[in-house]
Amino acid sequence: MSTRLPQLINGEFQQSQTDTWIPVTNPATQEVLCEVPAATAEEMESAIQSAREAFLEWRETPVSERARVMLRYQHLLKEHHDEIAEVLAKETGKVFADAKGDVWRGIEVVEHAANIGSLMMGETVENVARGIDGHAWTQPLGVCAGITPFNFPAMIPLWMFPMAIACGNSFVLKPSEQDPMTPNILAELFLRAGAPKNLLQVVHGGKEQVDTLLTHPEIKAVSFVGSVPVGQHVYRTATDHLKRAQCFAGAKNHMVVMPDARKDQVISNLVGASCGAAGQRCMAISVAVFVGESKQWIDELKDELAKIRPGAWDDENAAYGPQISPKARDRVLTLIKQGKEEGASCLLDGSDCTVDGLPDGNWVGPTLFSDVTPDMALYKEEIFGPVLCCMTVDTLEEALELVNNSPYGNGTSIFTASGAAARKYQHEVEVGQVGINVPIPVPLPFFSFTGWKGSFYGDQHAYGKQAVRFYTETKTVTSRWFDDDIPDGAHGGPNMTINLK
Q: Which residues are catalytic?
A: 282
Tell me phi and psi for residue 391, to 5 degrees: -130, 155
**C-alpha count within 13 angstroms, C-beta hemisphere, residue 222:** 34
CA max distance for the chain? 97
State the DSSP code for 320.
B
Is residue 359 a contact partner of residue 396, using CB atoms and an 8 Å limit? no
Please report the beta strands in 97-152, taking only residues with DSSP state E, as ranges in sequence order.
123-129, 132-140, 143-147
| Residue 441 exposed, middle or buried by CB count within 10 Å (0-12, 13-18, 19+) | middle
Measured torsion, CA atoms of residues 236, 238, 243, 249, in degrees rounded to the nearest 10: -70
Give the C-alpha distances (Å, rounded to integers) separating 403 from 343, 399, 408.
21, 6, 9
Q: Which residues contact 459 (CB under 8 A, 6 or more apart)?
A: 246, 470
Beta bridge partners, 350, equal none
Q: Which residues contact 324 (CB under 8 A, 6 or more apart)?
A: 27, 92, 93, 150, 151, 178, 179, 280, 362
Which long-range CB contacts under 8 A does 419-426 form with residues at least 24 apart? 421/258, 421/260, 421/396, 424/396, 424/400, 425/256, 425/396, 425/399, 425/400
Q: Which residues contact 57 (CB under 8 A, 6 or more apart)?
A: 196
| Residue 190 exposed, middle or buried by CB count within 10 Å (0-12, 13-18, 19+) | buried
Is residue 470 a contact partner of residue 246, using CB atoms and an 8 Å limit? yes
Give the C-alpha distances (Å, rounded to integers) separating 287 from 306, 324, 369, 386.
18, 22, 10, 11
**C-alpha count within 13 angstroms, C-beta hemisphere, residue 254:** 34
Identity at 349, one-letter amino acid code: D
∠450-452-457 over CA atoms, to 5°? Answer: 95
| Residue 10 exposed, middle or buried by CB count within 10 Å (0-12, 13-18, 19+) | middle
First-to-last alpha carbon distance for the chain, in angstroms, is 88
Beta bridge partners, 413, equal 255, 435
